[in-house]
Structure 1
Amino acid sequence: MGIFDSAKDKASEFAQDNPDKLDQGVEKAGDFADDKTGGQRADQIDKGQDFANEKLDGAFGGE
């Protein structure tokens, strides 16, 4: 098993054990992007956050 396989396994395990932290991370990333764009792309960022949360929830059983 290579170093990337090990990192991937650890990330997957963390995601499965902490789905709430994934949601928080997506929210923080979206807020950061919204801040950097001055709110000009808020609708697109919100859609991206929703999409990311749906995919993560489906993959890791989030809330």
Structure 2
Amino acid sequence: MSFLDKAKDFVDKHDKQVDQALEKVGDEVDKRTGHKYSSQVDRGVDEAQKRTGDGDTRV
């Protein structure tokens, strides 16, 4: 099993934790950019969450 396969398997099994981490990263990026790009950051986080695990758990 390749590294990429292992990463996909991990993401599938831990969707909620991955979505929470993506949300925290988005919040930090938003903070560091002075909230200038909030809507773009939110859209990026939402898209990333949709592509992980079983879908967006929206924590």
| TM-score normalised per structure 2 | 0.77
Residue 49 of structure 2 corresponds to: 53
Report the secondary structure of 1:45's partner residue. Answer: helix
Report the secondary structure of 1:61's partner residue. Answer: coil
| Identical columns (%) | 36
Matched, 1:26 2:19: no
How many residue pairs are counted as aligned between the two chains? Answer: 56
Q: Structure 2: which 5+ residue stretches go unaligned?
A: none
Report the secondary structure of 2:51's partner residue. Answer: helix
Deviation at 1:34, TM superposition (A): 0.4
Higher Cα radius of gyration? 1
Residue 5 of structure 2 corresponds to: 9
Query: Which shows bigger deviation, 47-56 or 35-44?
Result: 47-56
Following TM superposition, the consecutive aligned residue runs of length 4 or more in structure 1 with deviations greater than 3 angstroms are none
- Aligned equivalents of 1:12, 1:51: Cα separation in 2: 16
More helix by share: 1
Q: Structure 1: which 5+ residue stretches go unaligned?
A: none
